[in-house]
Amino acid sequence: MSLSNKYCWESDPAHAWLCVDLGEVFKAGIAHKVSHYSFVDASRGLAYLEEDRDAGLFLNAIGWVDTRQLEIPDNYTDRSSPIRGLPRFVNLLSEEGK
């Protein structure tokens, strides 16, 4: 199944993040489970879910159990990704709770 028109991987030499619409994270019901290693670009409405836990959590929540069958493009940089400079997803939740 190709999800190339909906999601993409953003990766650098050390890590990768699944880029998804921020609203989808909340709709999937996993926002409160997202780790400290995921980021958010609220101005663009995007969440960057870290590859080791949060991306799988999201994909499972939307019904994709066998992620090996998914075709998701990868935007790779050989430098440190600018995603690392974005606010942490958990900070977004703490802002909402104020």
The pLDDT assigned to 98 comes to 45
- At 23-53, the pLDDT tens digits run 999 999 999 999 999 999 999 999 999 999 9
Could you tell me which residues come within 8 angstroms of residue 47 by beta carbon, excluding any fewer than 6 positions away? 19, 20, 21, 22, 24, 25, 34, 38, 39, 40, 41, 89
Give the global pTM.
0.87
Between CA 82 and CA 12, with CA 77 as vertex, the angle to 5 degrees is 75
The pLDDT > 90 percentage for the chain reads 67
SS3 per residue for 70-94: CECCEEECCCCCHHHHCCEHHHHHH
Nearest to 18 by CA among 2, 36, 40, 1: 40
Confidence of residue 5 (pLDDT cuts 50, 70, 90): low
Work out the average pLDDT over 53-75: 82
Q: Which of 59, 68, 52 is nearest to 16 (CA)?
A: 52
